[in-house]
Structure 1
Amino acid sequence: MESFNLDARQLARIEAVHRGFLYQHLYAAACLFQAAKSGVTHVIVENDEDIELVFPEKRIYGQVKTRRSQLIFSDIADALARFDQIRAEHSAGRRSGACQFVIISNTTPRPDLSKRISSQTWPVDVALMCPGSAPLDASLPEPWTSIVEGFQACRTAAETLPFAILAPETLVWKLAGRILAASAGIEPEATHTFSVDTLPTLFEQLVIQLQDFPAPPLRYRPQDNEPPLLSEQRVRLVIGFSGAGKTSWVSQTALHATDRLAYYDIADISGPALANAVARELAARIFGSRGAKLGEILLPGASGAEILVAIGRHLAEDGITATVVLDNAHRVPATDLVPLVGASPQLRFLLLAQPTASTSRLEATLGIAAEHLLGWSNDTSAAEGASLGCRGDYADYDRLLKLTAGLPLYVQNALKIAAGSYEGDIDRLCTALEQRTHVVETVQELILADVFETFNDNERRAVAALSLSDVPLSLVEATSILKQTFNVEPAAASAAFRRLRTTGSIQIFGVDRFKVHDAIRPLGRAFLDSCGADALKAAREAIRDLVMAALPQDHDRPRVFLLLRMFVALGNVKPLVEMATDELFHELGYMEEISSFLLEASASEATVPEDRFWALDGLVFAHFKEGDDTDISNKLDRMDALVRDNNLGLAERLAVGMKRMIFAARTKDVATVKKTMAELNRVLPQTPQHLRVAKYNYAHALFELGMMDECIAGTLNLIVEYYDELDLRLADVMGNNPDRIWPLLQGGKDHIDDVKHLADALDLQSKAVKAAGGNPGLAPIHAMKFYSMAHSLDSFVRVGQELVDDFIGRNDYIGARDVIETNLMPTITGLKLAGRIIPVRSQYAVVLAYCGAFDAADAEMARLAPYEGGLPPRGQRELQNQRALIAHLRENPPPPQWQMPPKLGGPTR
């Protein structure tokens, strides 16, 4: 998942609130650890104050304050007023013993507050504790500056307890979870109170709950949108292939759960004996230290179901529930699980299983729907890769996730192979895996080979034929591919698909679309290769043909990418060259997929001259879009030679002439610009369409030459022409979104090219106006609207980023944030524009800093840091500059937020 959030300000507020609560709960845990030796009899949380320490002769009331900057008086004013009320209760005798009050802060007070505290008017029974302050009482730990520091302090305290079987950090998190539950008034501490004399029993309970859970990884990385361990649903089923991280997830989340927990691996327990085995061990675990109750539960001759009923009855008496985790549940018949899970409403069950036909029977028999662990996100994989010395950009890690399904074990293993055999280069590893040229067998192949071996011939053929597609296909499409590749009849194909679905080897999307699970696809591809070159070619041709046939109705990005890969693999030069000369093709970000193929085609004598020319044209166009002048001159010379030596037509002469004119303008070669412009005017067809394209290119050349006034005048006339061509008025665009503008266009025509060119003209005029020192007004916003209508996504994002910079330049930080959160982030994340994700997210971090959300800005840059080593030098410099700018803004705040003048609706005094 990406890290995008709809309202980052709200997210920052939520994070700050929860940081404060976590700090408070850890501080309460620290108080519990040293309560016995300091004379405390009870610790109360979230009652009158955050923490109350009860002694035989007095009470200490503590208010916890966590802040990012120094403490000020307004931060504690409410607490002081509440202290006055509590003090009055003690004075009136309604509360026994003396009272003492303390404010516990992770930061020091500002000078003005320090002066108040040292004055004669400050209450003598109120103290402020902060990091480094003198101890006030043995029961009060010294405050910490951060949650990390607090956790380490609690861990050190936990190490002194006699529970060597359990890691001290586990005990800390479990205790913090119990404190959280007590703060919410949840049993067994519904009164918010921990009695010190029962702490040994409490610690023992926490140890017993976890001592048989598998040890969590030393460095656990959460999966994308992880489900909670506990939920309102009493019986749950979590499934995933071996390597999906099910056991790691459950052992890690168990650290933070407050329920009674028990874990059993039931792989080797026979079905009929299951209820009895689990029941007796569960009874001993929960009630083993309370002999009388255990005797009541384990009656001689009692069946497993009867024992479970008795356990549930005693849990109900105590007002608590217990959660039982059953691992490898697919190894036990579903009917044998029914008496176990149905014995008592006080017992909750979490079943962990691998996707098999047995799993489907579990869902049907128990009436539940399986949950899936979604694997690691791109950012998580990149963080793991960086820790192993790997490097790759966002697109590289996205490829890796598609090859491994993001399953943690498979990703980790692939990254270790990259580090050990490919010098940490993720791109090289992915290429080797895709082309089946890697020499080190992956854990994924080893583990899932056993799954693949269970398939019959048609099932293997189905996985193999569909392994080339990473997009969902309809049943008709998948059946057609299997028929064309292996001559499997539709009925047999449907049977294979049904069986594969029950094993989790295919994933269902929507009503009737599915694809082979990403984790299984490498094995299917290996099987397809083993079937010979003819089968591989037949599968590619089948996919190519069906995608091309459906493209007019279904032209989403993943399908176009799939089609491109089939063209490249089959050596279909002509359609690739035709697409490379289409502006929309570049706008959708497809060029990188085939640039190396076009380079090869443009240099090959086997490619016809016309195709070689247009391959070069597509490459030059891409260079212009990227602002990369590398080798443009050489490519233009080769295009001229192809025109001259092969007597190519007017379209080729115009294409190379327009590009040579722009390139000459970039290099400030005025003579060549004038000469080329004159030549183009001589041969240009005098049609409105050709003339408008020429006017735009002339205006672009003027811009490159620095002739801004002339460029502005030329684009203004051009914009008017396009508005007339589309039968639009400016009022039609003002305040309307693209979905309201599109129906207003002149009917009966395909307007995509004209809409795109209008956006180009608006964009060019905006740049010229800004370069001349003016304000382009609404032109960039209108350009974004038309780029959106034309599906020109690359230009849409680029203009949006420039618009964000314009807002920042006008000190309108809120406006900049709105543009990036409302328009850019949903576009790049929803469409997975890999090339734009890191630039936009790093710009977003800077915008957050301008808005004062420095913690959120730092967090976003930290998530991007693992990609830095895989970026080209320009991308690395951009990240470094953004990081430096955020640090500068923290020390040197920007000017205040721009306010709309009152006469335009802004705030009034």
Structure 2
Amino acid sequence: METFNLDPRQLIRIEAVHRGFLYQHLYAAACLFNAARAGVTHVVVENDEDVELVQPDRRIYLQVKTRASNLILSDIDGALSRFAAIRKEHEEGRRGGSCQFAVVSNSAPGPELAKLVAAREWPSDTTLHWPQSPAVDQAIPLPWRTIADGFEACRAAAETLPFSVLAPETLVWKIAGRMIAAAGGIEPSANHTFTVEELPALFEQLIVQLQDFPAPPLRYRPQEREPNLANGQRVRLVVGFSGAGKTSWVSQTALHTSDRLAYYDIAEISGPALASAVARELAARIFGSRGGKLGEILLPGASGTEILFAIGRHLAEDKLAATVVLDNAHRIAAADLVSLVGASDQLQFVLLAQPSATIARIEATLGVKAELLLGWSNETAAAEGASLGCRGDFSDYERLLKLTGGLPLYVQNALKIAAESYEGVVARVCAALEERTHIVETAQELILADVFDRFNDPERRAVAALSLSDVPLTQSEASVVLKRAFDLDPEIAATAFRRLRTSGTIQIFGVDRFKIHDAMRPLGRTYLSDAGGEHLQNAREAIRDLLMKALPNDHDRQRVFLLLRMFVALGNVKPLVEMATDEIFHELGYMGEITDFLAQAAASEEIAAEDRFWALDGLVFAHFKGGDDVNIQTKLDQMDELVRQHSLGLSERLAVGMKRMVFAARAKDVATVEKTMKELTRVLPQTPQHLRVAKYNYAHALYELGLMNECVISTLDLISEYYDLLGLTLGDVMGKNPDKIFPLLKGEQSHTDDLKHLADSLDLQSKAIKATGRFPGLGPIHAMKFYSMAHSLDSFVRVGQELVDDFIERNDYAGARDVIERNLMPTIMDMKLAGRIIPVRSQYAVALAYCGAFAEAEAEMSRLMPYESGLDERGQRELRDQRELIAYLKVNPPPPQWQMPPRLSGPLAKK
């Protein structure tokens, strides 16, 4: 699922701050692991300094810094001032013992700071430490370059402790969590201090808390927008199918939680015995080694509720909290959970459950709302695939996520099948799963088959018929599909919908739209295929008809995709051909869905000549947009042949003539261009609409022939004519966003085509001006506005990427970054333009590098690396070139950022 962010630059700053805090907390943990060996008696966090190490006769004050570049004086001048104030406290006897100061950094000092440190004036009690610096004090661990290096160092230290029942990485994250709590003044370390002699008891306590949790996966990959385990809510209900990763999530997040923790699988506990069983286990877990408190809690004859109340009272006295995780909560009656969770406000509960009718009762009884784990993101799935040797681009992994619902176990299993049976090609395993031709049964089918088998016949039929739709339908639409597919009456369908909703099989969107959960759809498709061809055909026709009926008022992109798939599945040639000749469908990126079908239609003798011609026309248009000239000549010849053999009309002759003229211009064939232009002029109807189309194609031909000045002149009148047609002036567009321009358009009719053609003309003129070495001014920006208004998304992104390159060429790196962050990235994510995501993101990494944000640029390229093997040669080369450019810029900085001249940066610049 995509994420949204109003200000990506602010997000980058926030991430950097939190990375710094995590580095600091891990470093404090390293000091704690090292303390006994170095003679340190206390470790203090976030007091006068980030970390303070107390020895019997000395106190060491540490300031921890993380930087992407070399450390400079301004980074530490505040710390040096504090060091001076603390030094005075010791000199005047207000603090005992001697003092030592150190700046600990993940990066080396820059030349000026290094020179300053080496000078005689530098304080003798103050040292700098970085990863390559010599170790001068046993009490101060050598810092690390990255958080990953720091974690590994802490893990190695934890491995030396005599607690074999607990993984060392678990102990590291728990200690880091305690550091975070202590830094915030939270019990049990509200005074910010850890006493070294109490560490064995602390380690043992953490082990007791965690040893009964399920072991987290060896390589855990977080789910999208993954929540924390403890978030302050008294009761939480986390729901997901088996395979959704609930247990892995809870065992992993437990490593980062500072609360007292307990985990229980309550699948085999009877409801009435639940409170007593959990209470006695919890009391022994928390207070079993704490003197007489356990006896005070487990009084003879005390009920489970009374024990829980006593546990809560003692926790409150100690200013502690405890989180209890109950797995398989769906197997317990809601009423039995009430007495358990209501016994004490000091106890927090996380209920893990699978979708079932029980969930609604738990929600109503406990007053909670079920939370869903969102599954893996495209990026996470790609990283997992790359680790297994799979190859796929962004679109392939998006397809896989739809087939599996993004549930970690199902995604992982499908990728393993791809690696073992489909040569690692993600697209091939997706095709096999969609067409149900795979040989190896997936974990998804095995696990969810039990859920599907428990449905009654109307419920199975509802899942089957609606499994064809991957977009939400209204209840009335879904009822129509079920009526035509299986002759189910609306009343029976409504009952099935209610039951499927309680089982989690139906997902609700908005007020009354819903769809079958993606993970369950493959089972529904299998049932539908087994039910017979008539049911499948009827379901497809029903979905096609209701989408066509709603299309004039609902242009939802995903619904149009679904309609195209229904046309293809039903063999409906005519509407597909009509769509193929509509520029908007090319702009929205739909051609990939129907290209193969159009090629088959164009080659079929059974299809009418006119339809075959327009199928070829759509394919040629797609080739032009994609810059693929290889097959254009053949298709143009086929179109000419169809015109001659079947005496097709003027529209067909004009269509093939215009395209042949532009193609000849691309090949610099002036003679053919002139000949074709004369023929078109002779037959061209003298209507304004036909003349505008002809003018644009003539201008386009001039551009392809390299006659740039002539192209600029030809487009001037055309642009002016479109402005008049739309009722706009240049002043109406200057400084305004599309939402402010729309109300100014002339008349009530739709202007989509005219807006698109105006944008095309502006774009063509801008490219011609740039080709002459001049600056195109606001032309590209205005073209983007009109492409946006016409929903011409493909051209919008293309022009935006070219504008980014223009800004970088003019040394306006901040402007280039802003175009991507404000315009391109939100558009491709909102509209799911999968084919554009990797090129835009790699270009964004380059823009970051030009802005000096090399760590962020390298991180972005690292996130794209799992997709690289799945790209074609051109895409792989583009990523390699971007990566090399970033490395080059790191060593060879670009010219300074362009600054707006002072006369343009005053009040007038804001108008």
TM over 0.5, yes or no? yes
Query: Which residue in 2 is equivalent to 1:606?
Result: 606
Residue 484 (str. 1) matches residue 484 (str. 2): yes
Q: Comparing 270-279 with 151-160, which one deviates more in the overlay? A: 151-160
Please name the residue that 1:763 is paired with. 763
SS of the residue corresponding to residue 62 of structure 2 reads strand
Cα deviation per residue 1:520-568 (whole Å; 9 max; x = unaligned)?
A: 1111111101110000000000000000011111121111000000000
Q: Distance in 1 between matches of 2:28 and 2:742?
A: 60
Moved more, 458-467 or 811-820: 811-820
Q: Deviations over 1:366-409 (max 9, x none)?
A: 11000000000111111111111111111111111110000000
Q: Counterpart amino acid of 2:71?
A: L
The residue that corresponds to 1:20 in the other structure is 20
Match of 1:902 in 2: 902
Question: What is the CA–CA distance in structure 2 between the aligned matches of 1:311 and 1:135, rounded to whole Å?
Answer: 48
Q: Aligned partners of 1:418, 1:111: CA distance in 2, in Å?
A: 52
The residue that corresponds to 2:885 in the other structure is 885
* Corresponding residue for residue 702 of structure 1: 702
For residue 686 of structure 1, what is the amino acid of its counterpart? Answer: Q
Q: In 2, are the aligned partners of 1:245 and 1:407 still within 8 Å (CA)?
A: yes
Alignment match, 1:799 = 799
Q: Does 1:133 align with 2:125?
A: no
Post-superposition CA distance 1:828-863 (Å, at most 9, x none): 000001111111111111111111111111111111
Give the aligned partner of residue 161 of structure 1.
161
> Are the equivalent residues in 1 in contact too, given 2:759–2:786 (CA < 8 A)?
yes
**C-alpha distance in 1, partners of 2:27/2:907?**
43
Per-residue displacement from partner, 1:75-118 (whole Å, max 9, x unpaired)? Answer: 22211111111111112221111212122222222343233223
Q: 1:461 to 1:550 in 2, by over 3 A?
A: same
Distance 1:624 1:4 in 2: 33
- Report the CA distance between 1:124 and its aligned residue: 1.9
- Matched position secondary structure for 1:34: helix
**Partner of 2:63 in structure 1?**
63
2:670 matches 1:651:
no
The secondary structure found in structure 1 opposite 2:554 is coil
What's 2:296 paired with? 296
Aligned mates of 1:247, 1:707 — CA distance in 2 = 66
* Distance (Å, rounded) in 2 between the aligned partners of 1:876 and 1:535: 44
Secondary structure (helix, strand or coil) at the match of 1:488 reads coil
CA distance in 1, matches of 2:857, 2:37: 43
- AA at the equivalent of 1:723: Y
Deviation at residue 56 of structure 1 after TM alignment? 1.9
Alpha-carbon distance, 1:126 to partner:
1.6
**For residue 329 of structure 1, what is the amino acid of its counterpart?**
A
For 1:694 and 1:490, the matched residues in 2 are separated by 54
Deviation at 1:660, TM superposition (A): 0.4
8 Å Cα contact 1:43-1:52 kept in structure 2:
yes
User: Could you give the per-residue CA deviations for residues 270-302 of structure 1, whole angstroms, max 9, x where no partner exists?
Assistant: 111111111111101101111300111111111
Give the stretch that moved more between structures: 59-68 or 549-558: 59-68
Q: 1:229 corresponds to which residue?
A: 229
1:900–1:906 contact (8 Å) kept in structure 2: no
Partner of 1:399: 399
Query: In structure 1, what is the equivalent of residue 832 of structure 2?
Result: 832
Match of 2:184 in 1: 184
Aligned AA (1:151) = F
Code of the aligned partner of 1:812:
D
- Which residue is equivalent to 2:592? 592
Following TM superposition, by how much is the alpha carbon of 1:434 offset from its aligned partner in structure 2, in angstroms? 1.0
Deviation digits for residues 742-761 of structure 1 (CA, Å, limit 9, x no counterpart): 22121143321111111111
Partner of 1:620: 620
Match of 1:282 in 2: 282
Tell me the amino acid that sits aligned with residue 241 of structure 1. F
Question: In the superposition, relative to structure 1, how do residues 759 and 133 fare at CA in structure 2: closer, same or farther (>3 Å)?
Answer: closer
Please, which moves more after superposition, 719-728 or 305-314?
Answer: 719-728
Alpha-carbon shift at residue 5 of structure 1 (Å): 4.4
Q: Secondary structure, in 3 states, of the residue corresponding to 1:38?
A: coil
Are 1:531 and 2:531 an aligned pair?
A: yes
Distance 1:118 1:726, change over 3 A: closer
Contact 1:12 1:853 in 2 (8 A): no
Q: Report deviation, 1:28.
A: 1.2
Matched residue type, 2:103: I
Secondary structure, aligned partner of 2:63:
strand
> Could you tell me how far 1:72 is from its partner in structure 2?
2.2
Look up the SS of the partner of 2:188 in the other structure. coil
- In the alignment, is the contact (CA less than 8 A) between 1:2 and 1:379 conserved in 2? no
Corresponding residue number in structure 2 for 1:718? 718
Cα 1:115–1:816 change in 2 (3 A) is closer
Q: Distance in 1 between matches of 2:849 and 2:116?
A: 33
> What 5-or-longer segments of structure 2 have no aligned partner?
none
How many residues are paired up?
A: 908
Identity of aligned residues (%): 74
Residue 688 (structure 2) aligns with: 688
Matched residues in 2 for 1:428 and 1:866: separation? 17
Q: CA deviation at 1:825?
A: 0.7
Q: Within 5 Å, which residues of 2 pair with 1:629-640?
A: 629-640=629-640
Q: Which amino acid aligns with 1:718?
A: L
Residue 178 of structure 1 aligns to a residue in which SS?
helix
Distance in 1, Cα, partners of 2:585 & 2:160: 65
What CA deviation, in whole Å up to 9, does each residue of 1:693-751 have, x standing for no partner?
A: 00000000000000011100000111111111122111111111111212212114332
TM-score by length of 1: 0.99
Classify the secondary structure of the residue corresponding to 1:324. strand
Aligned position for 1:327: 327
In 1, Cα distance between equivalents of 2:18 and 2:752: 49
Distance 1:69 1:681, change over 3 A: same
Superposed displacement of residue 907, structure 1: 12
CA RMSD of aligned residues (A): 1.3
SS in structure 1 opposite 2:440?
coil
1:33 match:
33
Q: d(CA) in 2 for partners of 1:756 and 1:113? A: 57
- Is the deviation greater in 775-784 or in 96-105? 96-105
* Counterpart-to-counterpart distance in 2, 1:577 and 1:408: 39
Match of 2:466 in 1: 466
Matched, 1:353 2:339: no
Amino acid at match of 2:9: R
Q: Which moved more, 1:108-117 or 1:580-589?
A: 108-117
Contact 1:330 1:353 (8 Å CA) reproduced: yes
Q: Confirm or deny that 1:419 pairs with 2:432.
A: no
Tell me the CA shift for residue 658 of structure 1: 0.4
Report whether the alignment pairs 1:309 with 2:324.
Answer: no
State the alpha-carbon separation in 2 of the partners of residues 502 and 821 from structure 1: 40
Tell me the CA shift for residue 120 of structure 1: 2.4
Conservation of the 8 A alpha-carbon contact between 1:900 and 1:907: no
Q: In structure 2, what is the Cα distance between the partners aligned to 1:902 and 1:116?
A: 37
Query: What corresponds to 2:672 in structure 1?
Result: 672
CA distance in 2, matches of 1:113, 1:727: 63
1-structure distance, mates of 2:68, 2:538: 63
Q: State the 1:769 CA deviation.
A: 0.4
Give the aligned residue type for 2:202. L
Q: Is the 8 A contact 1:9 1:853 kept in 2?
A: no
Q: Does 1:773 align with 2:763?
A: no
Q: Distance in 2 between the 1:69 and 1:760 partners?
A: 44
Instruction: For residues 673-703 of structure 1, give each alpha carbon's deviation from its aligned partner in whole angstroms, at most 9, with x where no partner exists.
Output: 0000000000000001000100000000000
Trace 1:813-852 onto structure 2 (pairs within 5 A).
813-852=813-852
The CA distance in 1 between the partners of 2:305 and 2:345, in whole Å, is 13
Q: Distance in 2 between matches of 1:132 and 1:727?
A: 67
Q: Is the 8 A contact 2:68 2:855 kept in 1?
A: no
Report what 2:549 is aligned to. 549
Does 1:513 pair with 2:475? no
User: Residue 613 of structure 1: SS of its match in structure 2?
Assistant: helix
Specify the SS of the correspondent of 1:678: helix
How far apart are the structure 2 equivalents of 1:399 and 1:62? Answer: 50
Q: CA deviation at 1:4?
A: 6.4
